[in-house]
Amino acid sequence: MSIDTTTAARVAKLARIKVEEADLPELAKEFSAMLGFIEQLNEVDVEGVDPMTSVTPQRLKRRADVVTDGDQPEAVLKNAPDAREGFFAVPKVVE
């Protein structure tokens, strides 16, 4: 698949990347190379291959989900600029 300079300019605009007009042909060439590589990957037969998250089999270390310093609403609300009835009070933003 080939990408032209107009498409490269549009992608750069959507990505909010400033690209000079003189650099657009090279960017279009790089995009075309990326899409060519993706087309090569689509040709690989992956039937029966399990998805993996790492090349080495490992499990993430887990810790117990325990509240260690909760049940202190007064201390937490002391940091609030405006607290009412046990809650943070904020100005109304939607009319």
Residue 32: C-alpha distances to residues 3, 22, 23, 27, 58 (Å): 5, 17, 14, 9, 37
Better-predicted residue by pLDDT, 26 or 69: 26
Residue with the bigger pLDDT between 94 and 23: it is 23
pLDDT given for residue 51 in this prediction: 83
Identity (one letter) of the amino acid at 88?
A: F
5-14 and 24-42 helices, crossing angle to 10°: 90
pTM over 0.75: no
What is the residue-averaged pLDDT of the chain?
A: 89
